[in-house]
A and B are shown apart, each in its own frame.
Chain A
Amino acid sequence: MTQPKTYIKATSVEHALSLAGESSGSFRYLAGGTDVMVNKFQGNDDAGLLIDISGIDALRQVSATETHLVIGALVCLEELAKHSAVAGNFPVLMEAANSVASPTIRKTATLGGNLLCGNRCSFYNQSAWWREAAGFCLKCSGPLCLASGGKKHCFSKFVSDMAVALISLRAGIEISDLRGVITIPLESIYSGDGINPSLLSNTAIIRAIHIPLHHDFRSVYKKLRKRETLDFTSLTTAISLDKTGMIRIVMGGVHAKPVITDGTGTEDLNSLVSQAVSATRMVDNDTYSRAYRKAMIPVFLDRSFRELQLI
């Protein structure tokens, strides 16, 4: 039998952690909830306890230290895109934030929520009826991946556009869980496993994102989708070039985790592109074909290089 449906509003991170720690059944933190509530509607999330953390003001600040810009995890994407410190230092984040979902969703959806937005697949993001009719894929406890025609590996796509942009900026993520607070590179929380894409402990709460200042990043961001709004990504690329000439290419929508390719602006860019392409792991589980998405990677990257005047 499913557990009772409950909802508690947490007043602080500590409160939320203790609620999570005491929970005997499944629970879910709710930030904006724009992803979670849709997953609940489709039956992909059956957590009984919703711990609403959206009211924790401490996680809604934007501040700067000597070395980093610190953006609270509960800053909503609209605010983030409008914040002068973000726009001034990292316009790429503004662009990424404005490419997520729709304007109304961005008023509610948070930065932290976007970083943990569920991996997506056309065989998974479906109603319970649909998934049963299709024969339950690997990600919903079935025996095989349907998208790949029967592999024992989940190819659900990583779709956080904010993560792609942030990782290109070498952002760190500050996390609280029952063990304490740590700050680690953002990319290190992503497992690459489509079924459990996050390595965070289940009680962990994202507190903030730390973005290093003074790198004089120049960045280019691109997103492939059918419509100019609303749609999840079919391919997101962000390239950031720092003042020392180091290039970081990050891609979303092409693997169960963000794909990172590091290099320098002076090396053979074609080989960087090939490296990036070969690091992807895609199947046909998107509105665009796998072949097309793959073919668009060099196009997006070349355009980005041109915009960065690297070629």
Chain B
Amino acid sequence: MQQISVTINGRPYQFLAGDHEMLSHLIREKAGLTGTKVGCEQGSCGACTVLLNGKAVLSCITPAMRAHQAEITTIEALAMNGQLHKLQEKFVDKGAIQCGFCTPGMVMTALSLAPELDSEADIPALIHRIKKGLSGNLCRCTGYKKIIEAVSEYVLETAGKNPEIREPALQPATGAVGVPRPYIEAAKKVRGVAEYADDIASKNALHCKFLRSIHPHALIEGIDLTDALGLPGVHAIATGKELPGKFGVLPVSQDETAMAVDKVRYAGEIVAAVAADTEEIADAACRLIKVSFRPIRAFLTIDDSLNDAGESEKIHDTGKFNNNIHKKVELRFGDQRKGLEEADMTAKMSFEFDGLSHGFTEPHAATAYWDENGLTIITATQVPHYLHRALAKVLEVPLSRVRVIKPYLGGGFGGKSDPFPHEIIVAHLARKTGRPVRVRLSREEVFLTNHGRHPSKMTVEMGISAEGIIRVLDADVAIDGGAYGSFGVVTSYYNGVLLQAPYKLDNFGFRTYRVYTNKPQCGAMRGHGAVNPRFAVESLIDDLARRINMDPCTLRMKNFLDSNTLTVGQYRITSNGSSESLEKVMEQSRWRERIGKMEKGRGLGVACGFFISGSALPIIWNELPQSVVHLKVDFDGRVLVTSGASDIGQGSDTMLAIIVSEVLGIAMDNIFVLAADTLLTPVDLGSYSSRVTFMAGNAAKDAAEQLKTEISRAFTKKFNIGAEDLIFSENRVFSHDKTVDCSWMEAVDILTAKRGAVSVSGKYISPKLGGDFKGAGAGLSPSYTFGACISEVEVDEETGYVKVTQVWGAHDCGKALNPLAVEGQLEGSWHMGTGQAISEQMTYSKGLLFNNNFLEYKIPTTLDTPDIHASIIETIDPEGPFGAKEAGEGAIHPVIPAIANAVFNAVGVRITRLPIQAEEILAKMKENRISEAKI
């Protein structure tokens, strides 16, 4: 330890700093400036960027001692006297902020980059230079597009130029719905003052660290805590036997315990947890714990687990057969055999997909404490409600003694939508020690926690008529679930059922196996369950179209389902923007003019997609509505919206405010959203299955309409006027003839007179849907979204390197309540899909994940991300709030096969394995040359 003097943001500090302490730790933990984020601890993501004597540095790999007698500038210094810095303003205005976790680092990097940029350069050169400059900063939400726009406009405006970077703006609209606007909390995020789970200081908190298994499958023969407990500063150590209660997000897969009890099922599973005064002590104590493992045979691949386990112990002792199959699902509609016979052309292909990580930039973190109200846990979660239930169950306390608070959250994408062991453990240790206990996972631990996209193998067969009408579709799918169930039963269904649209199918069937393996468990990730089979189907369509010599867009157009129809598995399709979406991207990419006329090595590819707008059935069957929203208005005129919906960076808090604002005709700043606190907010099932806009949005609309009714009633009583005569608009309540014309505050006075604050409760309950057969519930949704992508690639024919240069995408979101947010979701989806297509994969060696950091898990950077052109298609869904449907997940489906189909168009190589491997492209090009030579 040494005494150092540091000036941070102009203020002098004296710190006792560790000789090997990192600057990020000093800034966050000692100076309390938590705007500086730590996303990867290894200098690979840029979230921790600060200025050291004016120069941008990665504070997570900069020794704190270097700050001695130096000046540090963090994000908190930028806004002056309550005014945002111009660059911050641009980030807000352009919608460059979603989850906000990468934002401080991105802004600091951009700030240090800006003086180096040449505002005289032409726009493409300037943008390329910005992309290069920001290429060490990973963003998982935005696809970088709006960030780059923000920085370029800032540079141009600072140079006194009129920036015209954006593509033509979307049509302006009146009212709150349809107006592009930044998130209501964007300024807070860009200033670095929005608090995420690891930013919230709890007095006197202990730190928790985990001892994790080094074996993929082993029996625990003994745990010796003696030495670890003897270490000064250690307060408690917990092991699996203390928390034997099983949990899991699905009632049918309660197969996980907070820590391994008798055996470990994957390398990385938590065996013991230490609560100590500091992270360092907790870590040292973990190393002193002695565990006797007896390794047993590990099942590491799908094939291992499909086969009979022989004499070896199965991963779970459930299931009738001696194998490690977790779930088998099979559904058949129509007559597939007949369909095959009738088809004039068939194609059958096998595909293989590696597992994927969500790659959210904020690592999991949580703090738990107990008081007279029971347990409170502040945690980075997408599903406060299901966590609430799991905590009560495992900790054996009544539901009324658990409070889950979700603070600002740095990205989820499905990866924070299960109850997690670390959340249960810190709650348990807090009870055991009587102190708050906090934990933050390292990036490696985030990868070990996983719950990402399932590695999958599938064989899919499709047949079409000579006219290009799809006659039959059959899919045989195996997915690798890892050690536990998670959402896997749903994933198993989704791998099949979500193929029944957007094309009309009469003869359709599938079979899915989900197996347990001794690897970190898989779960739900953006586009849940449908991404990989969608890839297969869109690849087959591309192949079949070529073989019957039909344009693949034309073939798709011929097969789209209509609006207001039923699918073969009895999904009720209402609004359907498939053909508008496809038409849009064809026009934007100039498909008709360009396809087939490009030089070798360059290609265009197309694909379509479809997804649910929230699951119509809740995970836990009960008669509660899927979402409830409360509104309260009191003397001050402000409307308080309370909702259990979890804003994970997708903008759901803003969405709720927009809906309330639209219904009541009042300004957004008269609305305050309080969300995702299970003590204060009514239940919403959570941010998964792309359900929030549709379900919480409808509940908010219902609530706002009830409040409107309350006000109307008060007015009819007071003014002797019919409710139908009242108009709520522009912060006023008035009659058509203006004989009654009150400001909002006057209206609130009338409402609350002799009554006081008024609260109303709105809800959303999905209509009864679906067929009468086992499995009919899977994939049912009150509404579905549709979309299309065309992508352009350049393939280096000597190296096999694929560069995705353009993505034109269109997505039917029903109605864009906030077009800026919808665009952000689409651009982020296409960025993430590009990653799955070209560079992202989780690779294992004997059950150990190789690439457990952001250097080796290759999320596309600014330079690897194509130019993205987003088009919003509006079909005004009859049941969505103001016609809105989802926009967060569906868009990812078409982009991946569009890229692969473009590779085929460029070099004649059919991609059957993701991510696309340069090596495989070369090998297949060689095969093609040999077969051509033979002909």
| Chain A residues engaging chain B, CB cutoff 8 angstroms | 4-7, 9, 30, 33-34, 37-38, 40-42, 50, 52, 54, 101-105, 107-108, 122-123, 126-127, 129-130, 132-134, 224, 226-232, 287-289, 291-292, 295-296, 299, 303
With A and B bound together, what is the CA distance between A37 and B19 in angstroms? 12
Question: A144 to nearest B CB, angstroms?
Answer: 14
Would you call B858 an interface residue if the criterion is a C-beta within 8 Å of the partner chain's C-beta atoms?
yes
Seed contacts A102-B43, A103-B132, A127-B852; 15 additional CB < 8 Å A-B pairs: A5-B19, A33-B63, A34-B43, A37-B43, A52-B63, A103-B134, A105-B43, A108-B57, A122-B850, A126-B850, A133-B267, A230-B135, A289-B919, A292-B922, A299-B799
CB-defined contacts of A4 to chain B, threshold 8 Å: 19
CB-defined contacts of B799 to chain A, threshold 8 Å: 224, 296, 299
CB-defined contacts of A42 to chain B, threshold 8 Å: 42
Docked-complex contact A299 and B798, CB < 8 angstroms: yes
Q: Given A7-B2, A133-B214, do A229 and B22 touch, yes or no (CB 8 Å)?
A: no
CB-defined contacts of A287 to chain B, threshold 8 Å: 851, 856, 858
Docked-complex contact A133 and B856, CB < 8 angstroms: no
Docked-complex contact A226 and B858, CB < 8 angstroms: yes
Q: B45-83, CB under 8 A of A: which get 1 and which 0?
A: 010010000011110011101101000000000000000
With A and B bound together, what is the CA distance between A42 and B442 in angstroms? 11
Residue of B nearest to A229 (CB): B135
Docked-complex contact A37 and B61, CB < 8 angstroms: yes
Q: Given A37-B61, A132-B214, do A101 and B852 touch, yes or no (CB 8 Å)?
A: no
Q: Given A7-B20, A103-B135, do A292 and B46 touch, yes or no (CB 8 Å)?
A: no
CB-defined contacts of A289 to chain B, threshold 8 Å: 919
Would you call B423 an interface residue if the criterion is a C-beta within 8 Å of the partner chain's C-beta atoms?
no
Chain B, range 816-874, C-beta contacts under 8 Å to A: 839, 845-846, 848, 850-852, 855-856, 858, 860-864
Docked-complex contact B861 and A33, CB < 8 angstroms: no
CB-defined contacts of B2 to chain A, threshold 8 Å: 7
With A and B bound together, what is the CA distance between A123 and B444 in angstroms? 15
Question: B352 to nearest A CB, angstroms?
Answer: 16
Question: A43 to nearest B CB, angstroms?
Answer: 11
Q: Given A41-B42, A102-B136, A130-B852, do A227 and B66 touch, yes or no (CB 8 Å)?
A: no
Residue of B nearest to A287 (CB): B856
Would you call B440 an interface residue if the criterion is a C-beta within 8 Å of the partner chain's C-beta atoms?
no
With A and B bound together, what is the CA distance between A122 and B848 in angstroms? 11
CB-defined contacts of B792 to chain A, threshold 8 Å: none
Would you call B256 an interface residue if the criterion is a C-beta within 8 Å of the partner chain's C-beta atoms?
no
Q: B232-274, CB under 8 A of A: which get 1 and which 0?
A: 0000000000000000000000000000000000010000000
Docked-complex contact B215 and A133, CB < 8 angstroms: yes
Q: Given A102-B46, A108-B58, do A230 and B136 touch, yes or no (CB 8 Å)?
A: yes
Docked-complex contact A228 and B863, CB < 8 angstroms: yes
CB-defined contacts of B442 to chain A, threshold 8 Å: 127
CB-defined contacts of A231 to chain B, threshold 8 Å: 855, 858
Would you call B41 an interface residue if the criterion is a C-beta within 8 Å of the partner chain's C-beta atoms?
yes
Would you call B526 an interface residue if the criterion is a C-beta within 8 Å of the partner chain's C-beta atoms?
no
CB-defined contacts of A104 to chain B, threshold 8 Å: 46, 49, 56-58, 109, 136-137
Would you call B776 an interface residue if the criterion is a C-beta within 8 Å of the partner chain's C-beta atoms?
no
Docked-complex contact A227 and B61, CB < 8 angstroms: no
With A and B bound together, what is the CA distance between A49 and B214 in angstroms? 30
Docked-complex contact B861 and A227, CB < 8 angstroms: yes
**Total inter-chain residue pairs, C-beta < 8 Å:** 140
CB-defined contacts of B63 to chain A, threshold 8 Å: 7, 30, 33, 37, 50, 52
Chain B, range 1-50, C-beta contacts under 8 Å to A: 2, 18-20, 22, 41-44, 46, 49
CB-defined contacts of A224 to chain B, threshold 8 Å: 799
**Interface of A: prevailing SS:** mixed
Query: Which of B61, B66, B856 has the most C-beta atoms of chain A within 10 angstroms of its own C-beta?
Result: B61
Would you call B212 an interface residue if the criterion is a C-beta within 8 Å of the partner chain's C-beta atoms?
yes
CB-defined contacts of B112 to chain A, threshold 8 Å: 107
Docked-complex contact A226 and B839, CB < 8 angstroms: yes
Would you call B133 an interface residue if the criterion is a C-beta within 8 Å of the partner chain's C-beta atoms?
yes
With A and B bound together, what is the CA distance between A226 and B835 in angstroms? 11
With A and B bound together, what is the CA distance between A5 and B44 in angstroms? 25
Q: Which of A132, A134, A292 contacts B845 (CB 8 A)?
A: A134
Would you call B343 an interface residue if the criterion is a C-beta within 8 Å of the partner chain's C-beta atoms?
no
CB-defined contacts of B193 to chain A, threshold 8 Å: none
Query: Which of B18, B56, B63, B845 has the most C-beta atoms of chain A within 10 angstroms of its own C-beta?
Result: B63
Docked-complex contact A107 and B848, CB < 8 angstroms: no
Q: Which of B41, B109, B863 contacts A41 (CB 8 A)?
A: B41
CB-defined contacts of A54 to chain B, threshold 8 Å: 66
**14 chain-A/chain-B pairs, Cβ below 8 angstroms:** A30-B63, A34-B58, A38-B61, A102-B137, A104-B136, A122-B851, A126-B850, A133-B267, A134-B845, A228-B863, A229-B132, A231-B858, A287-B856, A288-B919
Q: Which of A9, A107, A227 contacts B56 (CB 8 A)?
A: A107
With A and B bound together, what is the CA distance between A38 and B43 in angstroms? 8
Question: B111 to nearest A CB, angstroms?
Answer: 12
Would you call B466 an interface residue if the criterion is a C-beta within 8 Å of the partner chain's C-beta atoms?
no
Residue of B nearest to A284 (CB): B845
Would you call B918 an interface residue if the criterion is a C-beta within 8 Å of the partner chain's C-beta atoms?
yes
Docked-complex contact A292 and B136, CB < 8 angstroms: no
Docked-complex contact B136 and A101, CB < 8 angstroms: yes
Docked-complex contact A230 and B852, CB < 8 angstroms: no
Residue of B nearest to A227 (CB): B864
CB-defined contacts of B66 to chain A, threshold 8 Å: 52, 54
With A and B bound together, what is the CA distance between A5 and B46 in angstroms? 26
Q: Given A5-B18, A108-B58, A226-B839, do A52 and B136 touch, yes or no (CB 8 Å)?
A: no
CB-defined contacts of A127 to chain B, threshold 8 Å: 442, 444, 852
With A and B bound together, what is the CA distance between A234 and B925 in angstroms? 22
With A and B bound together, what is the CA distance between A123 and B845 in angstroms? 9
Which 5 A-B residue pairings sit nearest by Cβ, starting from the closest? A102-B136, A133-B214, A229-B135, A228-B863, A7-B19
With A and B bound together, what is the CA distance between A40 and B855 in angstroms? 16
With A and B bound together, what is the CA distance between A190 and B599 in angstroms? 45
Residue of B nearest to A9 (CB): B65
CB-defined contacts of A122 to chain B, threshold 8 Å: 850-851, 856
Docked-complex contact A230 and B19, CB < 8 angstroms: no
Question: B112 to nearest A CB, angstroms?
Answer: 8
Q: Which of A40, A105, A126, A291 contacts B58 (CB 8 A)?
A: A105
Question: A114 to nearest B CB, angstroms?
Answer: 14
Q: Which of A5, A130, A292, A296 contacts B444 (CB 8 A)?
A: A130
Q: Which of A37, A52, A226 contacts B22 (CB 8 A)?
A: A37
